[in-house]
Structure 1
Amino acid sequence: MLIVDDEKPLAEVVGRYLARQGYEVELVFDGPAAVRTARELDPDVVILDLGLPGLDGLDVCRGLREFSDCYIIMLTARAEEPDTLAGLRAGADDYVTKPFSPRELVARVEVMLRRPRQVTKEPLAHEPPRVFGPMRIDVAAREVRMGGDRVVLTRTEFDVLESLTARAGQVMSRREIIDDVWGAAWVGDEQLVDVHVAHLRRKLGDPAGDPQFIHTVRGVGYRLGLFAQREGQ
Protein backbone atom coordinates (compact mmCIF):
# COMPACT_ATOMS: atom_id res chain seq x y z
CA MET A 1 0.00 0.00 0.00
CA LEU A 2 1.51 3.32 -1.07
CA ILE A 3 0.26 6.62 0.39
CA VAL A 4 1.32 9.78 -1.42
CA ASP A 5 0.50 13.11 0.24
CA ASP A 6 2.60 16.17 1.03
CA GLU A 7 0.55 16.70 4.21
CA LYS A 8 2.73 14.44 6.35
CA PRO A 9 0.47 14.39 9.44
CA LEU A 10 -2.51 13.31 7.33
CA ALA A 11 -0.48 10.67 5.50
CA GLU A 12 0.78 9.31 8.82
CA VAL A 13 -2.74 9.12 10.30
CA VAL A 14 -4.06 7.26 7.25
CA GLY A 15 -1.00 5.00 7.31
CA ARG A 16 -1.62 4.07 10.95
CA TYR A 17 -5.26 3.22 10.27
CA LEU A 18 -4.29 0.97 7.37
CA ALA A 19 -1.41 -0.62 9.28
CA ARG A 20 -3.81 -1.52 12.10
CA GLN A 21 -5.87 -3.41 9.52
CA GLY A 22 -2.82 -5.49 8.64
CA TYR A 23 -1.68 -3.68 5.48
CA GLU A 24 1.95 -3.00 4.71
CA VAL A 25 2.21 0.75 4.23
CA GLU A 26 4.81 2.98 2.60
CA LEU A 27 4.59 6.79 2.76
CA VAL A 28 6.05 9.27 0.28
CA PHE A 29 5.48 13.00 0.07
CA ASP A 30 6.11 14.19 -3.49
CA GLY A 31 5.31 13.20 -7.05
CA PRO A 32 8.68 11.93 -8.32
CA ALA A 33 9.10 9.76 -5.22
CA ALA A 34 5.63 8.33 -5.80
CA VAL A 35 6.47 7.09 -9.31
CA ARG A 36 9.87 5.80 -8.26
CA THR A 37 8.54 3.96 -5.20
CA ALA A 38 5.62 2.45 -7.11
CA ARG A 39 8.07 1.00 -9.64
CA GLU A 40 10.10 -0.52 -6.83
CA LEU A 41 7.27 -1.88 -4.67
CA ASP A 42 4.50 -2.67 -7.20
CA PRO A 43 1.73 -1.83 -4.68
CA ASP A 44 -1.82 -3.15 -4.97
CA VAL A 45 -3.26 0.23 -3.98
CA VAL A 46 -1.95 3.79 -4.28
CA ILE A 47 -3.67 6.53 -2.28
CA LEU A 48 -2.66 9.63 -4.22
CA ASP A 49 -3.12 13.31 -3.37
CA LEU A 50 -4.02 15.58 -6.27
CA GLY A 51 -1.80 18.47 -5.18
CA LEU A 52 1.83 17.33 -4.88
CA PRO A 53 5.21 19.04 -5.19
CA GLY A 54 7.54 18.09 -8.02
CA LEU A 55 4.87 16.32 -10.08
CA ASP A 56 1.16 16.78 -9.48
CA GLY A 57 -1.22 13.93 -8.77
CA LEU A 58 -2.65 13.84 -12.28
CA ASP A 59 0.80 13.44 -13.83
CA VAL A 60 1.71 10.81 -11.23
CA CYS A 61 -1.49 8.94 -12.02
CA ARG A 62 -0.77 9.00 -15.75
CA GLY A 63 2.79 7.86 -15.06
CA LEU A 64 1.62 4.96 -12.91
CA ARG A 65 -0.75 3.81 -15.64
CA GLU A 66 2.20 3.38 -17.99
CA PHE A 67 3.48 0.42 -15.96
CA SER A 68 0.93 -0.50 -13.28
CA ASP A 69 -2.72 -1.55 -13.02
CA CYS A 70 -2.83 -0.97 -9.26
CA TYR A 71 -5.92 0.56 -7.72
CA ILE A 72 -5.57 4.34 -7.46
CA ILE A 73 -7.68 6.35 -5.04
CA MET A 74 -7.27 10.07 -5.67
CA LEU A 75 -7.42 12.50 -2.74
CA THR A 76 -8.55 16.00 -3.61
CA ALA A 77 -9.22 19.12 -1.57
CA ARG A 78 -11.45 20.35 -4.38
CA ALA A 79 -14.90 18.82 -4.80
CA GLU A 80 -15.66 20.55 -8.10
CA GLU A 81 -16.66 18.14 -10.85
CA PRO A 82 -13.82 19.07 -13.28
CA ASP A 83 -11.22 18.16 -10.68
CA THR A 84 -12.74 14.82 -9.74
CA LEU A 85 -13.34 13.89 -13.38
CA ALA A 86 -9.78 14.88 -14.29
CA GLY A 87 -8.47 12.38 -11.74
CA LEU A 88 -10.67 9.61 -13.10
CA ARG A 89 -9.72 10.40 -16.68
CA ALA A 90 -6.05 10.23 -15.71
CA GLY A 91 -6.61 6.62 -14.63
CA ALA A 92 -7.80 6.76 -11.01
CA ASP A 93 -10.33 4.15 -9.90
CA ASP A 94 -12.00 6.25 -7.22
CA TYR A 95 -11.65 9.56 -5.41
CA VAL A 96 -12.20 10.91 -1.90
CA THR A 97 -12.66 14.61 -1.16
CA LYS A 98 -10.82 16.21 1.76
CA PRO A 99 -11.59 16.46 4.61
CA PHE A 100 -12.50 12.79 4.96
CA SER A 101 -12.72 10.19 7.66
CA PRO A 102 -9.74 7.80 7.67
CA ARG A 103 -12.26 5.05 8.45
CA GLU A 104 -14.12 5.87 5.24
CA LEU A 105 -10.89 5.67 3.24
CA VAL A 106 -9.99 2.33 4.83
CA ALA A 107 -13.47 1.05 3.97
CA ARG A 108 -12.96 2.10 0.33
CA VAL A 109 -9.64 0.25 0.23
CA GLU A 110 -11.18 -2.89 1.71
CA VAL A 111 -14.03 -2.87 -0.83
CA MET A 112 -11.54 -2.54 -3.68
CA LEU A 113 -9.32 -5.34 -2.46
CA ARG A 114 -12.26 -7.75 -2.37
CA ARG A 115 -12.27 -7.61 -6.15
CA PRO A 116 -10.15 -10.19 -7.99
CA ARG A 117 -6.91 -8.64 -9.17
CA GLN A 118 -4.74 -11.50 -10.36
CA VAL A 119 -4.94 -13.27 -13.68
CA THR A 120 -6.67 -16.59 -13.15
CA LYS A 121 -4.42 -19.50 -14.06
CA GLU A 122 -7.21 -22.03 -14.63
CA PRO A 123 -10.27 -21.38 -16.80
CA LEU A 124 -13.32 -20.21 -14.86
CA ALA A 125 -15.68 -23.18 -15.18
CA HIS A 126 -14.17 -23.65 -18.68
CA GLU A 127 -16.05 -20.62 -19.93
CA PRO A 128 -15.28 -20.04 -23.62
CA PRO A 129 -14.19 -16.57 -24.75
CA ARG A 130 -16.99 -14.09 -25.23
CA VAL A 131 -17.07 -12.94 -28.84
CA PHE A 132 -18.91 -9.80 -29.94
CA GLY A 133 -18.23 -9.10 -33.58
CA PRO A 134 -14.50 -8.27 -33.79
CA MET A 135 -14.19 -8.07 -29.98
CA ARG A 136 -13.05 -11.19 -28.13
CA ILE A 137 -12.94 -11.31 -24.32
CA ASP A 138 -11.10 -14.06 -22.47
CA VAL A 139 -12.39 -13.72 -18.91
CA ALA A 140 -10.03 -16.33 -17.45
CA ALA A 141 -6.96 -14.59 -18.88
CA ARG A 142 -8.48 -11.11 -18.36
CA GLU A 143 -7.60 -10.28 -21.94
CA VAL A 144 -9.47 -8.33 -24.63
CA ARG A 145 -8.66 -8.44 -28.34
CA MET A 146 -10.12 -6.38 -31.13
CA GLY A 147 -9.70 -7.90 -34.56
CA GLY A 148 -6.80 -9.95 -33.20
CA ASP A 149 -5.00 -6.97 -31.63
CA ARG A 150 -4.73 -6.86 -27.84
CA VAL A 151 -6.56 -3.97 -26.15
CA VAL A 152 -4.76 -2.78 -23.03
CA LEU A 153 -7.28 -2.02 -20.26
CA THR A 154 -6.87 -1.13 -16.63
CA ARG A 155 -8.26 -3.59 -14.12
CA THR A 156 -11.32 -1.45 -13.51
CA GLU A 157 -11.99 -0.96 -17.22
CA PHE A 158 -11.83 -4.71 -17.75
CA ASP A 159 -14.18 -5.32 -14.81
CA VAL A 160 -16.73 -2.85 -16.20
CA LEU A 161 -16.55 -4.48 -19.63
CA GLU A 162 -16.82 -7.96 -18.12
CA SER A 163 -19.94 -6.89 -16.22
CA LEU A 164 -21.59 -5.56 -19.39
CA THR A 165 -20.64 -8.55 -21.53
CA ALA A 166 -21.93 -10.98 -18.92
CA ARG A 167 -25.38 -9.47 -19.49
CA ALA A 168 -25.20 -8.71 -23.20
CA GLY A 169 -28.41 -7.18 -24.50
CA GLN A 170 -29.63 -6.25 -21.02
CA VAL A 171 -29.74 -2.70 -19.73
CA MET A 172 -27.59 -2.23 -16.63
CA SER A 173 -28.03 0.78 -14.39
CA ARG A 174 -24.98 2.59 -13.07
CA ARG A 175 -25.77 1.24 -9.63
CA GLU A 176 -25.85 -2.35 -10.91
CA ILE A 177 -22.47 -1.87 -12.57
CA ILE A 178 -21.09 -0.37 -9.36
CA ASP A 179 -22.40 -3.31 -7.33
CA ASP A 180 -20.72 -5.72 -9.76
CA VAL A 181 -17.40 -3.91 -10.01
CA TRP A 182 -16.89 -1.87 -6.85
CA GLY A 183 -19.20 -3.87 -4.57
CA ALA A 184 -22.53 -3.15 -2.89
CA ALA A 185 -20.78 -1.40 0.01
CA TRP A 186 -19.32 1.28 -2.27
CA VAL A 187 -20.64 4.80 -1.65
CA GLY A 188 -19.82 7.65 -4.01
CA ASP A 189 -20.63 9.45 -7.24
CA GLU A 190 -22.19 7.09 -9.79
CA GLN A 191 -20.72 9.28 -12.54
CA LEU A 192 -17.59 7.23 -11.93
CA VAL A 193 -19.17 4.63 -14.23
CA ASP A 194 -19.56 7.15 -17.06
CA VAL A 195 -15.87 8.01 -16.99
CA HIS A 196 -14.76 4.38 -17.18
CA VAL A 197 -17.24 3.69 -19.99
CA ALA A 198 -15.79 6.68 -21.88
CA HIS A 199 -12.31 5.16 -21.45
CA LEU A 200 -13.56 1.82 -22.75
CA ARG A 201 -15.20 3.38 -25.79
CA ARG A 202 -12.01 5.22 -26.69
CA LYS A 203 -9.86 2.11 -26.37
CA LEU A 204 -12.33 -0.07 -28.25
CA GLY A 205 -12.79 2.52 -31.00
CA ASP A 206 -16.48 2.70 -30.10
CA PRO A 207 -17.62 6.36 -30.41
CA ALA A 208 -20.48 7.41 -28.15
CA GLY A 209 -22.29 9.04 -31.10
CA ASP A 210 -22.36 5.85 -33.14
CA PRO A 211 -21.56 2.93 -30.82
CA GLN A 212 -21.09 -0.60 -32.03
CA PHE A 213 -20.69 -2.15 -28.60
CA ILE A 214 -21.63 -0.03 -25.57
CA HIS A 215 -24.95 1.78 -25.96
CA THR A 216 -26.20 4.51 -23.61
CA VAL A 217 -29.77 4.10 -22.38
CA ARG A 218 -30.69 7.61 -21.31
CA GLY A 219 -31.79 7.97 -17.73
CA VAL A 220 -30.90 4.36 -16.95
CA GLY A 221 -27.38 3.21 -17.78
CA TYR A 222 -25.68 1.10 -20.45
CA ARG A 223 -26.28 -1.94 -22.62
CA LEU A 224 -23.94 -4.06 -24.68
CA GLY A 225 -25.22 -4.15 -28.28
CA LEU A 226 -27.90 -6.72 -29.06
CA PHE A 227 -25.90 -7.97 -32.07
CA ALA A 228 -23.43 -9.58 -29.67
CA GLN A 229 -23.32 -13.36 -29.44
CA ARG A 230 -21.29 -15.65 -27.26
CA GLU A 231 -18.88 -17.99 -29.05
CA GLY A 232 -20.56 -21.31 -29.73
CA GLN A 233 -24.09 -19.92 -29.65
Structure 2
Amino acid sequence: MTRVLVVDDDAQILRALRINLTARGYQVLTAVDGAGALRAAADELPDVVVLDLGLPDLDGTEVIAGLRGWTRMPIIVLSARTESNDKVDALDAGADDYVTKPFGMAELLARLRAAVRRAASDSEARVDGEPVVHTATFTVDLAAKQVVRDGAVVHLTPTEWGILELLVRNRGKLVGQRQLLHEVWGPAYHRETNYLRVYLAQLRRKLEPDPAHPRHLITEPGMGYRFDLPAS
Protein backbone atom coordinates (compact mmCIF):
# COMPACT_ATOMS: atom_id res chain seq x y z
CA MET A 1 0.00 0.00 0.00
CA THR A 2 1.36 3.40 -1.02
CA ARG A 3 1.91 5.71 1.95
CA VAL A 4 1.13 9.40 1.36
CA LEU A 5 2.12 12.17 3.78
CA VAL A 6 -0.24 15.14 3.39
CA VAL A 7 1.03 18.40 4.93
CA ASP A 8 -1.45 21.27 5.25
CA ASP A 9 -2.71 23.50 8.05
CA ASP A 10 -6.21 23.62 6.53
CA ALA A 11 -8.31 21.03 8.37
CA GLN A 12 -10.88 20.81 5.57
CA ILE A 13 -8.26 20.06 2.94
CA LEU A 14 -6.61 17.46 5.19
CA ARG A 15 -9.96 15.78 5.76
CA ALA A 16 -10.91 15.82 2.07
CA LEU A 17 -7.58 14.39 0.99
CA ARG A 18 -7.61 11.75 3.71
CA ILE A 19 -11.08 10.58 2.67
CA ASN A 20 -10.36 10.58 -1.07
CA LEU A 21 -6.93 8.96 -0.85
CA THR A 22 -8.03 6.33 1.66
CA ALA A 23 -10.99 5.44 -0.56
CA ARG A 24 -8.53 4.77 -3.39
CA GLY A 25 -6.32 2.47 -1.38
CA TYR A 26 -3.64 4.84 -0.11
CA GLN A 27 -2.42 4.91 3.48
CA VAL A 28 -2.61 8.54 4.56
CA LEU A 29 -0.37 10.26 7.10
CA THR A 30 -0.92 13.92 7.98
CA ALA A 31 0.95 16.89 9.43
CA VAL A 32 -0.21 20.45 10.03
CA ASP A 33 3.14 22.25 10.09
CA GLY A 34 6.67 22.01 8.74
CA ALA A 35 8.29 20.56 11.84
CA GLY A 36 5.63 17.87 12.05
CA ALA A 37 6.12 17.09 8.36
CA LEU A 38 9.86 16.59 8.78
CA ARG A 39 9.32 14.36 11.84
CA ALA A 40 6.63 12.30 10.11
CA ALA A 41 8.76 11.86 7.00
CA ALA A 42 11.72 10.64 9.07
CA ASP A 43 9.66 8.38 11.33
CA GLU A 44 7.12 6.95 8.86
CA LEU A 45 9.08 7.01 5.57
CA PRO A 46 6.14 7.74 3.24
CA ASP A 47 6.32 6.93 -0.46
CA VAL A 48 5.25 10.44 -1.51
CA VAL A 49 4.62 13.83 0.13
CA VAL A 50 1.82 16.26 -0.76
CA LEU A 51 2.93 19.61 0.67
CA ASP A 52 1.36 23.03 1.15
CA LEU A 53 3.80 25.96 1.01
CA GLY A 54 1.98 28.27 3.42
CA LEU A 55 2.63 26.52 6.72
CA PRO A 56 2.47 28.27 10.12
CA ASP A 57 6.05 27.61 11.21
CA LEU A 58 8.20 26.99 8.14
CA ASP A 59 7.85 27.96 4.52
CA GLY A 60 7.20 24.93 2.35
CA THR A 61 10.45 25.47 0.44
CA GLU A 62 12.32 25.02 3.75
CA VAL A 63 10.51 21.72 4.28
CA ILE A 64 11.45 20.62 0.76
CA ALA A 65 15.10 21.51 1.41
CA GLY A 66 15.00 19.61 4.71
CA LEU A 67 13.63 16.52 3.03
CA ARG A 68 16.03 16.72 0.10
CA GLY A 69 18.92 16.66 2.55
CA TRP A 70 18.36 12.93 3.03
CA THR A 71 15.63 11.53 0.76
CA ARG A 72 14.55 11.38 -2.88
CA MET A 73 10.89 10.60 -2.08
CA PRO A 74 8.59 12.45 -4.52
CA ILE A 75 7.22 15.80 -3.30
CA ILE A 76 4.09 17.31 -4.86
CA VAL A 77 3.45 20.92 -3.87
CA LEU A 78 -0.22 21.80 -3.36
CA SER A 79 -0.42 25.56 -2.93
CA ALA A 80 -2.57 28.64 -3.44
CA ARG A 81 0.53 30.51 -4.66
CA THR A 82 0.20 30.95 -8.41
CA GLU A 83 3.14 33.21 -9.26
CA SER A 84 5.73 31.63 -11.54
CA ASN A 85 8.59 32.55 -9.21
CA ASP A 86 6.92 30.59 -6.38
CA LYS A 87 6.71 27.56 -8.65
CA VAL A 88 10.31 27.93 -9.77
CA ASP A 89 11.50 28.33 -6.16
CA ALA A 90 9.68 25.15 -5.12
CA LEU A 91 11.03 23.18 -8.09
CA ASP A 92 14.53 24.51 -7.50
CA ALA A 93 14.29 23.45 -3.86
CA GLY A 94 13.58 19.89 -5.00
CA ALA A 95 9.83 19.52 -5.55
CA ASP A 96 8.79 17.14 -8.32
CA ASP A 97 5.45 18.69 -9.23
CA TYR A 98 3.31 21.74 -8.45
CA VAL A 99 -0.50 21.85 -8.23
CA THR A 100 -2.33 25.11 -7.54
CA LYS A 101 -5.38 25.54 -5.32
CA PRO A 102 -8.26 25.26 -5.95
CA PHE A 103 -7.49 21.89 -7.50
CA GLY A 104 -9.40 19.04 -9.10
CA MET A 105 -9.13 15.76 -7.24
CA ALA A 106 -8.81 13.80 -10.48
CA GLU A 107 -5.81 15.90 -11.56
CA LEU A 108 -4.12 15.60 -8.18
CA LEU A 109 -4.62 11.83 -8.17
CA ALA A 110 -3.16 11.58 -11.68
CA ARG A 111 -0.10 13.55 -10.65
CA LEU A 112 0.22 11.45 -7.51
CA ARG A 113 0.17 8.24 -9.55
CA ALA A 114 2.75 9.68 -11.97
CA ALA A 115 5.07 10.68 -9.10
CA VAL A 116 4.86 7.24 -7.52
CA ARG A 117 5.44 5.60 -10.90
CA ARG A 118 8.52 7.72 -11.59
CA ALA A 119 9.94 6.95 -8.15
CA ALA A 120 9.40 3.22 -8.66
CA SER A 121 11.08 3.39 -12.06
CA ASP A 122 13.96 5.38 -10.58
CA SER A 123 14.60 2.65 -8.00
CA GLU A 124 15.00 -0.07 -10.61
CA ALA A 125 18.54 -0.74 -11.84
CA ARG A 126 18.02 -0.85 -15.59
CA VAL A 127 21.23 -0.52 -17.57
CA ASP A 128 21.50 -0.84 -21.34
CA GLY A 129 24.51 0.19 -23.38
CA GLU A 130 27.35 1.99 -21.61
CA PRO A 131 26.58 2.35 -17.88
CA VAL A 132 28.85 5.39 -17.43
CA VAL A 133 28.88 8.41 -19.73
CA HIS A 134 31.69 10.96 -19.37
CA THR A 135 31.66 14.59 -20.42
CA ALA A 136 34.38 17.18 -19.93
CA THR A 137 32.75 18.46 -16.73
CA PHE A 138 30.50 15.74 -15.31
CA THR A 139 29.89 11.98 -15.36
CA VAL A 140 26.52 10.24 -15.59
CA ASP A 141 26.44 6.79 -14.00
CA LEU A 142 23.31 5.05 -15.28
CA ALA A 143 23.81 2.02 -13.03
CA ALA A 144 24.26 4.01 -9.82
CA LYS A 145 21.71 6.58 -11.02
CA GLN A 146 23.85 9.53 -10.09
CA VAL A 147 25.82 12.40 -11.58
CA VAL A 148 29.26 13.46 -10.37
CA ARG A 149 30.71 16.90 -11.05
CA ASP A 150 34.03 18.17 -9.68
CA GLY A 151 34.31 15.07 -7.51
CA ALA A 152 30.94 15.58 -5.79
CA VAL A 153 27.58 13.93 -6.36
CA VAL A 154 25.08 16.37 -7.87
CA HIS A 155 21.65 16.20 -6.25
CA LEU A 156 18.92 15.65 -8.83
CA THR A 157 15.24 15.26 -8.09
CA PRO A 158 13.59 12.07 -9.42
CA THR A 159 12.04 14.10 -12.24
CA GLU A 160 15.35 15.70 -13.18
CA TRP A 161 17.00 12.29 -13.21
CA GLY A 162 14.19 10.84 -15.32
CA ILE A 163 14.71 13.49 -17.98
CA LEU A 164 18.50 13.26 -17.93
CA GLU A 165 18.49 9.46 -18.03
CA LEU A 166 16.17 9.39 -21.05
CA LEU A 167 18.31 11.93 -22.91
CA VAL A 168 21.59 10.19 -22.03
CA ARG A 169 20.29 6.77 -23.08
CA ASN A 170 19.39 8.33 -26.43
CA ARG A 171 22.54 10.47 -26.66
CA GLY A 172 23.07 12.11 -29.99
CA LYS A 173 19.42 11.58 -30.93
CA LEU A 174 16.52 13.99 -30.81
CA VAL A 175 14.04 13.07 -28.07
CA GLY A 176 10.69 14.69 -28.83
CA GLN A 177 8.78 16.80 -26.35
CA ARG A 178 5.83 14.40 -26.35
CA GLN A 179 8.09 11.40 -25.70
CA LEU A 180 9.78 13.13 -22.77
CA LEU A 181 6.48 14.19 -21.22
CA HIS A 182 4.91 10.78 -21.77
CA GLU A 183 7.78 8.78 -20.31
CA VAL A 184 8.64 11.07 -17.39
CA TRP A 185 5.25 12.47 -16.37
CA GLY A 186 2.79 10.04 -17.99
CA PRO A 187 0.40 10.03 -20.97
CA ALA A 188 -1.85 12.78 -19.54
CA TYR A 189 0.90 15.40 -19.80
CA HIS A 190 1.79 15.43 -23.50
CA ARG A 191 0.94 19.15 -23.84
CA GLU A 192 2.74 20.50 -20.74
CA THR A 193 5.83 21.66 -22.63
CA ASN A 194 6.42 24.42 -20.05
CA TYR A 195 7.47 21.65 -17.62
CA LEU A 196 10.33 20.74 -19.94
CA ARG A 197 11.60 24.32 -20.16
CA VAL A 198 11.68 24.64 -16.37
CA TYR A 199 13.40 21.31 -15.73
CA LEU A 200 15.93 21.62 -18.55
CA ALA A 201 16.89 25.04 -17.19
CA GLN A 202 17.40 23.47 -13.77
CA LEU A 203 19.54 20.67 -15.20
CA ARG A 204 21.67 23.14 -17.13
CA ARG A 205 22.27 25.22 -14.00
CA LYS A 206 23.42 22.11 -12.17
CA LEU A 207 25.51 20.51 -14.93
CA GLU A 208 26.57 22.91 -17.68
CA PRO A 209 29.63 25.16 -17.17
CA ASP A 210 27.78 27.92 -19.03
CA PRO A 211 24.01 27.27 -18.69
CA ALA A 212 23.19 30.06 -21.17
CA HIS A 213 25.29 28.29 -23.84
CA PRO A 214 24.86 24.56 -23.12
CA ARG A 215 27.21 22.04 -24.70
CA HIS A 216 25.36 18.87 -23.72
CA LEU A 217 21.67 19.55 -23.00
CA ILE A 218 20.62 20.96 -26.36
CA THR A 219 17.21 22.38 -27.29
CA GLU A 220 15.85 21.68 -30.76
CA PRO A 221 13.26 24.49 -30.95
CA GLY A 222 9.71 23.27 -31.37
CA MET A 223 10.79 19.63 -31.51
CA GLY A 224 12.54 18.40 -28.38
CA TYR A 225 15.92 17.96 -26.73
CA ARG A 226 19.18 16.14 -27.35
CA PHE A 227 22.13 15.06 -25.21
CA ASP A 228 25.37 15.79 -27.07
CA LEU A 229 28.95 14.74 -26.45
CA PRO A 230 30.83 17.31 -28.52
CA ALA A 231 34.44 16.75 -29.43
CA SER A 232 36.87 18.44 -27.04
Asked if Structure 1 and Structure 2 have the same fold, meaning a TM-score greater than 0.5 normalized by the shorter chain, the answer is yes
Which residue in 2 is equivalent to 1:97? Answer: 100
Does residue 129 (structure 1) correspond to residue 131 (structure 2)? The answer is yes
1:32-71 superposed matches below 5 A: 32-71=35-74
1:2-13 superposed matches below 5 A: 2-13=5-16
Given that 1:88 and 1:192 are in contact with CA atoms closer than 8 Å, whether structure 2 keeps it comes out as: no
Q: Which shows bigger deviation, 47-56 or 16-25? A: 16-25
Does residue 178 (structure 1) correspond to residue 181 (structure 2)? The answer is yes
Compared with structure 1, are the counterparts of its residues 220 and 42 closer, same or farther at alpha carbon in structure 2 (3 Å cutoff)?
Answer: same
The aligned length equals: 226
Specify every segment of 5 or more residues in structure 2 that has no aligned partner in the other structure, as ranges.
none
Compared with structure 1, are the counterparts of its residues 22 and 95 closer, same or farther at alpha carbon in structure 2 (3 Å cutoff)?
Answer: same
Structure 2 SS opposite 1:114? helix
Given that 1:132 and 1:227 are in contact with CA atoms closer than 8 Å, whether structure 2 keeps it comes out as: no
Does residue 120 (structure 1) correspond to residue 129 (structure 2)? The answer is no
Given that 1:42 and 1:68 are in contact with CA atoms closer than 8 Å, whether structure 2 keeps it comes out as: no
Structure 1 position 188, deviation (Å): 7.3
Given that 1:49 and 1:75 are in contact with CA atoms closer than 8 Å, whether structure 2 keeps it comes out as: yes
Does residue 84 (structure 1) correspond to residue 87 (structure 2)? The answer is yes
Q: Distance in 1 between matches of 2:113 and 2:123?
A: 20
Which residue in 2 is equivalent to 1:231? Answer: none
Structure 1 position 84, deviation (Å): 1.9
Q: Which shows bigger deviation, 188-197 or 69-78? A: 188-197
Amino acid of the residue matched to residue 41 of structure 2?
A
Amino acid of the residue matched to residue 24 of structure 1?
Q
Structure 1 position 106, deviation (Å): 1.4
Compared with structure 1, are the counterparts of its residues 162 and 113 closer, same or farther at alpha carbon in structure 2 (3 Å cutoff)?
Answer: same
Amino acid of the residue matched to residue 133 of structure 1?
T
Q: 2:203 aligns with which of 200, 203, 206?
A: 200
Amino acid of the residue matched to residue 81 of structure 1?
S
Of all paired residues, the percent bearing the same amino acid is 40
Compared with structure 1, are the counterparts of its residues 188 and 48 closer, same or farther at alpha carbon in structure 2 (3 Å cutoff)?
Answer: farther
| Structure with the larger RCO, 1 or 2 (CA within 8 Å, 6+ apart) | 1
Compared with structure 1, are the counterparts of its residues 206 and 179 closer, same or farther at alpha carbon in structure 2 (3 Å cutoff)?
Answer: farther
Decide which structure has greater helix share: 2
TM-score of the superposition, structure 1-length normalised?
0.85
Q: Distance in 2 between matches of 1:164 and 1:101?
A: 32
Does residue 209 (structure 1) correspond to residue 212 (structure 2)? The answer is yes
Structure 1 position 40, deviation (Å): 1.4
Given that 1:94 and 1:192 are in contact with CA atoms closer than 8 Å, whether structure 2 keeps it comes out as: no
Compared with structure 1, are the counterparts of its residues 206 and 85 closer, same or farther at alpha carbon in structure 2 (3 Å cutoff)?
Answer: same
Q: Deviating runs (4+, > 4 A) in structure 1?
A: none
Q: Which shows bigger deviation, 178-187 or 45-54? A: 178-187
Given that 1:164 and 1:223 are in contact with CA atoms closer than 8 Å, whether structure 2 keeps it comes out as: yes
Could you say what the CA RMSD is over the residues aligned between the two structures, in angstroms? 2.3
Q: 1:143 aligns with which of 136, 142, 146?
A: 146
Specify every segment of 5 or more residues in structure 1 that has no aligned partner in the other structure, as ranges.
229-233
Compared with structure 1, are the counterparts of its residues 187 and 211 closer, same or farther at alpha carbon in structure 2 (3 Å cutoff)?
Answer: closer
Structure 1 position 105, deviation (Å): 1.0
